Structure 1
């Protein structure tokens, strides 16, 4: 075999050298010692690292690469183990076995029984094992000296009140203990449950339904689905089910997410609110995204009443007949379809609230799962007047003529675009304050005409985007809405 080429050792020869290097026991042992030394140093065990360096005869000749560490190797091994066997490796705490020593003699009416595990409960594992060995050996010696028969039996497994056998060893799980039921008995499911728990909102948001300008139809539907079953459970005691899913669509900035925030604020302490994004749902590991979905709906059912809010849902529920779809994406969508379809029977008390700017990109099967599909309308003249007065009333004085003019300019504006225009007016006053050279003279007082001109200019700078999509949303609502 040719090992030398024009540019030195060939790739094949290099691979063989590396393979032999890995298979060599002494080289492998040396590499492990260096990995352990690095791990101890990085975690602050300097005395242990120095002892390992001395006893292992480690020198400064070798240095580990930055991309090699024990954590990465353990995670890689755990992932391989899970892929091969369907579960992650676990570490068990060692507990001494229960042994019963019975010594019986001719002069004794009853056998003397010694339970040697009593001391093991209050001593460390290694010390308990040594104590067990010494006690058993001492008992055996005494039995031989007295010529008494020695019987060593393994203690029976404890049985709990339900008749189930229990073990003395307990598992040290890498995830969260105390899960809801058997679904979270493995470390794999527990780690996914911890990930889903991060989506539960616990922020202190102070909003009221009165802070929402317009969209009374959407507010009524949300109240019917979430608040009415809590306040009047007797109305749903005879087979009637509340709304279980609602899809909000409309131009960007029309207030879909704001409605979800108001719902969370009004139901704090009463409802568990899951704020789901694509970063939580999508995983690079095969089959893990479907598991996250199942854990999400399972936890929502266990913590009912609960709300699952899926913002920008078109990124997760696009049409399934596209040639660009990956196999993992198809499996994820099929799992979500099954969970949404089975909610009425198994997931009582769970309400799915979704929002989208592109409802026509959602697959028809998902649209069927949503019981209500509602267009979030742009604010009308009265709602725009109320919103402008609320945002500008504390900063400038608005007369009736100026307010009417701003309402006319902001026609086809979304609520967020009106907010941006009002923010531009406030920032203009900040610019005037920062440009003032002599602060001792105070702020120059602007005339009412100048104020009105600046306000009108700020509103005219906004280019409304909602009017471009509003007609398409209205047509879609007529064809598919409910």
Structure 2
């Protein structure tokens, strides 16, 4: 997968109004700009989450004239679900599909001054958590929209394994791949990646 990489030096501070420059510099220092771009096509499965994100974020970003008044998009969105299933990848894909800049920022980097500037600067804050039940009510109120990122089903597991194994000339037959996909029930996306990596080391052990 190839994509254009934006340099931190090319991201201007002039478009961010009424925000402390020290805070902006902290955020820019954490911007994710070293990897390739990610699109929804690069993410296996998660069709329900993708559709929700398309309606909640991408369409309003691309056609803002249609989303005013009661249709105005939310400024906070929470991705939640079991770990290792692509919440960060989905967030990066949303930014790419919306022609936006993606910042990967820890919660400790956010301040009320940043959050309170959202409306003027058209910033969407997307949170990601494995434990939404541990967030307090004040935090949850910031995320008016919430999207569940599920564990992969058998079809998604098969697609993920096939995508991983294609790098090694597909050593499994179609029947073996079907069997492995069924037996990997309960595996997350990161579990499947770890499984494939471990198997790839087998011939050289």
Q: Which TM-score band applies after superposition, normalised by the shorter structure? A: 0.7 to 0.9
The alignment status of 1:391 with 2:182, answered yes or no, reads no
The alignment's TM-score, normalised by the length of structure 1, stands at 0.36
Distance 1:202 1:240, change over 3 A: same
TM-score (normalised: structure 2): 0.79
- C-alpha deviation, 1:200, in angstroms: 3.3
Q: Secondary structure at the match of 1:206?
A: coil
| Match among 407, 420, 437 for residue 194 of structure 2 | 420
1:373–1:236: structure 2 CA closer, same or farther, 3 Å change rule? closer
Q: Report the equivalent of 1:294.
A: 113
Q: Is 1:406 equivalent to 2:180 in the alignment?
A: yes
Q: Which has the higher contact order (CA 8 A, sep 6+)?
A: 2
State the distance in 1 between where 2:39 and 2:15 align.
Answer: 34
- Structure 1 residues 385 and 192: alpha-carbon distance in aligned structure 2, compared to 1, 3 A threshold: closer
Pairwise CA RMSD? 2.7
**Residues 327-476 of structure 1 aligned to structure 2 (within 5 Å):** 346-347=119-120, 349-395=122-168, 396-431=170-205
Asked which structure has the greater CA Rg, the reply is 1
Contact 2:92 2:102 in 1 (8 A): no
The 2-side partners of 1:383 and 1:247 are apart by 23
Name the CA distance, whole Å, in 1 between partners of 2:162 and 2:60: 35
The separation in 2 between residues aligned to 1:403 and 1:422, in whole angstroms, is 12
Alignment partner of 1:257 out of 79, 85, 88: 88
Q: 1:424 offset after TM fit, Å? A: 0.7
Deviation digits for residues 200-256 of structure 1 (CA, Å, limit 9, x no counterpart): 333342322112122112212222233212322331245521233221221211221
Q: Does the alignment pair 1:280 with 2:106?
A: no
Q: Is the 8 A contact 1:224 1:243 kept in 2?
A: no
Cα distance change on mapping 1:293 and 1:365 into 2, 3 Å: closer
**Consecutive unaligned residues in structure 2, runs of 5 or more:** 1-12
Which SS does the other structure have where 1:274 is aligned?
coil
- Post-superposition Cα deviations, 1:303-327, rounded to whole Å, max 9, x if no partner, equal xxxxxxxxxxxxxxxxxxxxxxxxx
SS of residue in 1 equivalent to 2:103:
strand
With over 3 angstroms needed to count, the CA separation of the structure-2 counterparts of 1:277 and 1:421, relative to structure 1, is same
Aligned residues: 192
Q: Which runs of 5+ in 1 are unaligned?
A: 1-176, 282-291, 302-345, 432-482
Aligned to 1:209: 40
Partner Cα distance (2:46, 2:112) in 1? 30
Q: Quick check: 1:214–1:379 contact (8 Å CA) kept in 2? A: yes
Given that 2:38 and 2:89 are in contact with CA atoms closer than 8 Å, whether structure 1 keeps it comes out as no
